[in-house]
Amino acid sequence: MNYENILTEIEEGIGLITINRPTKLNALNKATIEELHEAFKTLDADAAVKVIIITGTGEKAFVAGADISEFANFSVEEGGKLAAKGQELLFDFVQNLSTPVIAAVNGFALGGGLELAMAAHFRIASDNARMGLPEVSLGVIPGYGGTQRLPQLVGKGRAMEMIMTAGMINATEAKAYGLVNHVVPQEELIEFCRGIAGKIMKNSPKAIARAIETVNANYQDGVNGYETEIKAFGESFGTEDFKEGTTAFLEKRKAKFTGK
């Protein structure tokens, strides 16, 4: 599929999505959010794609925020719809995708950009990355899950400080906070992400999908994550991946998992 605002490629089981709006520092507008939804949906449905990496084009920005010009004149109702639609189409969609998503944060990840990175299953940053939620400086608050996911990742106190000051933290601070897993030189970022993706791809896709589901269950209101885990654990015994994984272990060979 041809996209106007993003690039996609598949290589050796890894789907790479690159937000490609360099003149706008890869800012998220409505069209880009819709294209990202389609790209994630398409790659998730592709049995050959085992891991997805999301990044931004160039060396300056992952995503420098939302495209403010699109909503500067919105009403209360329009603002609410903007957040609801965005969360449904992209941010919640990515968080609950059964294919693992790694955010390769290659520069500024601000506002909606940081929210997109936080929706991914984990994050790896280049050493020049800068992250923050500056929305209160515009008289608004994060609307794509930022007030919920940031405290989950860095703790309430640090999240409150980042949101209320509208300030940025650097990659080293982000790693110390637990916001990113690794910090690597800019030129090594994608290759490093591919290395981790390679480790993930050796394991059972079905089990990984269940693991994503059960970890996320802990953060859903009214859902007992332990019960979700017990159910998913039991159901794993009925999969071909379980048979292959246990047989390979007993036969002292490497498991060969197929499909998703």
Annotated active-site positions, please? 115, 135
Helix or strand or coil: residue 28? strand
Non-local (6+) Cβ contacts of 87 within 8 A are 143, 144, 145
- Tokens 């998992």 found at: 257
Q: How far, in Å, CA of 40 to CA of 102, rounded?
A: 12
Q: Please report which residue ranges of 46-75 form alpha helices under DSSP H.
A: none
Structure token digits, residue 123 = 């994050």
168 bridge partner residues: 132
Helix or strand or coil: residue 96? coil
Q: How far, in Å, CA of 16 to CA of 199, rounded?
A: 16
119 touches 112 (CB < 8 A): no
Structure token digits, residue 68 = 């403010």
Helix, strand, coil abundance in the chain, percent, nearest 5: 50, 15, 30
Which residue from 141, 173, 168 is spatially nearest to 66, judged by alpha carbons?
Answer: 141
Looking at residue 24, the DSSP 8-state letter turns out to be: G
